[in-house]
Amino acid sequence: MTSHRTPTPAQLQRWDRRYVWHPFTQMEEWEQDPPLVIQSGKGAYLYDTDGRRYLDGVSSIWLTVHGHRHPDLNRALRRQLDRIAHSTLLGLTSPPAVLLARDLVRIAPPGLTKVFYSDDGSTAMEVALKMALQYWEQRRPRIQPKNRFLHFTLSYHGDTAGAMSIGGIDLFHKRYRALRVPTFTAEPPYCYRCPLSLSYPTCHLRCLDPVAKLLKTRHREIAAVVIEPLVQAAAGMITAPPGYLSKIRELCTRYHVLLIADEVATGFGRTGRLFACEHERVTPDLMAVSKGLTGGYLPLAATLSTDEIYRAFLGRYDEFKTFFHGHSYTGNALGCAVALANLEVFRKEHTLRRLQPKIRALSRLLDPLNTWPHVGEIRQRGFMVGIELVQDRATKTPYPLADRIGHRVAQEARKRGLLLRPLGNVIVLMPPLSITLPQLTRLVRIVSASIRTVTAAA
């Protein structure tokens, strides 16, 4: 240790720029300004080292559920810490891992019966992909390999190699093609910029036609369809029309293709239900959860599977049907303990019931922006909102990415005490589910003022 004194805010800012390489960040730009150092949080607020307060408008990148420093979650962590921080699930088990798995199976879409733990959204998706491949190999040995995935363009499933293969955001994924396996892709139902130039709602889900065609002609090769149910989040909160997900489920069943639902962003109340799949009574064959699983406290993830898939991995040891996959921290006791407390708070505080009026309030508060000249579309599904800003409302002409319009809106919002992280030209609102109505009102007021200021000057 070089010093026992608490570092000053200025020291932290200097050392950050000297030592830390930040995710999804142009570091040359980062180095130009002193970074905002968050020291603490409470509820929907974050506090910097100077004691300034900010509303956490994106739940610390889509994680926080019941607010920061929730007493029940804190208590659960402290209790677990007094027992043990971690013991392995390779050859052993632990109370929090067992109890959380049981709880997850109880609340998940019916038919999902087994829980495989990992560390984050990306690894939960890697697990789902590997399970799907091995499932088909073990179920139908010697038949033509069923080992390709069908996913959507603009999709995002994480940054590890397998997850990138099924990712469709060129800016993030294209450069790493050497790490990616070939896949089938379909256009997502991006109604505002319909790739098929159909008009909603008279299109009657014609956007499914290309997916149906691919499945019809190539289903023998396709192991699974991978989807972000209801909302393609990182693509800019692209919301699917009602019925889309359940039709995808039907197609997968008809053509004997697995459905992998990536509920990493949508899970744990974000869409107004515990899981997005519930809105259309869909049970996927594999489901990945992470972000909200621990209420935003610790990295933990799970891949849930059906009995049907699980059973395909059973056999004598020397049949080698084992799922040879695991991580050092799989089923981490602290993570599972806090996740259990997180789920308990949903029940105790009636989080989902109390969320419904706030979802409606959020729509109401945002409604006036719908006529603004630079607001192209406001997409909302529960507590997931994307406001797509455009240069010209009539022609839907996007702002050039280099204009950094979203970034500038976020900078304005920060001055006014709200932290945001946009996706290109899309302003994202993902407040903690526990945000109060007055806080939500303030959040929208700040967003509105920030958009007005930036677009008037642009």
- Interface with ligand PLP by CB under 6 A: which residues? 120-122, 125, 156-158, 228, 233-234, 262, 264-265, 290-291
Residue 421 in marked binding region: yes
Minimum CB distance to ligand PLP smaller for 234 or for 287:
234
Query: By CB neighbour count within 10 A (0-12 exposed, 13-18 middle, 19+ buried), where does 49 fall?
Result: middle
Distance CA 203, CA 190 (A): 12
Minimum CB distance to ligand PLP smaller for 230 or for 440:
230
Residue nearest to ligand PLP (CB): 121
Distance CA 301, CA 330 (A): 9
Find all residues with CB under 8 Å of 198, minimum gap 6, and list them.
Answer: 206, 207
Minimum CB distance to ligand PLP smaller for 125 or for 428:
125
Minimum CB distance to ligand PLP smaller for 14 or for 421:
421
Residue 4 in marked binding region: no
Residue 256 in marked binding region: no
Residue 331 in marked binding region: no
Q: Say if residues 268 and 291 touch (Cβ distance below 8 Å).
A: yes
Q: What's the closest the beta carbon of residue 265 comes to ligand PLP, in angstroms?
A: 3
Minimum CB distance to ligand PLP smaller for 121 or for 269:
121
Name the packing angle between helices 244-254 and 209-218 (round to 10°).
Answer: 10
Q: What's the closest the beta carbon of residue 290 comes to ligand PLP, in angstroms?
A: 5
The 3 state secondary structure assigned to 94-132 is: CHHHHHHHHHHHHHCCCCEEEEEEECCHHHHHHHHHHHH
Q: What's the closest the beta carbon of residue 232 comes to ligand PLP, in angstroms?
A: 8
Token pair recorded at residue 117: 């733990």
Minimum CB distance to ligand PLP smaller for 228 or for 388:
228
Minimum CB distance to ligand PLP smaller for 302 or for 413:
302
Place of tokens 């319909």: 194
Q: What's the closest the beta carbon of residue 409 comes to ligand PLP, in angstroms?
A: 21
Q: Say if residues 39 and 49 touch (Cβ distance below 8 Å).
A: yes
Q: What's the closest the beta carbon of residue 156 comes to ligand PLP, in angstroms?
A: 6
Q: What's the closest the beta carbon of residue 117 comes to ligand PLP, in angstroms?
A: 14
Q: What's the closest the beta carbon of residue 91 comes to ligand PLP, in angstroms?
A: 26
CA 97, distance to chain mean position in Å, is: 22
Distance CA 56, CA 68 (A): 9
Q: In angstroms, what is the C-alpha Rg of the chain? A: 22
Q: Is 204 left (phi over 0), alpha (psi -120 to 50) or beta?
A: left
Residue 291 in marked binding region: yes
Q: Say if residues 352 and 434 touch (Cβ distance below 8 Å).
A: no
Across-strand partners of 390? Answer: 398
Q: What's the closest the beta carbon of residue 155 comes to ligand PLP, in angstroms?
A: 8
| Pairing verdict, β 112-118 and 375-381 | unpaired
Residue 327 in marked binding region: yes
Minimum CB distance to ligand PLP smaller for 101 or for 237:
237
Residue 262 in marked binding region: yes
Indicate the helix (H) or strand (E) that contains 55.
strand 53-56
Distance CA 324, CA 341 (A): 30
User: Which residues sit in the known binding site for substrate?
Assistant: 156, 291, 326, 421
User: Which residues sit in the known binding site?
Assistant: 121-122, 156, 262, 291, 326-328, 421
User: Which residues sit in the known binding site for pyridoxal 5'-phosphate?
Assistant: 121-122, 262, 327-328
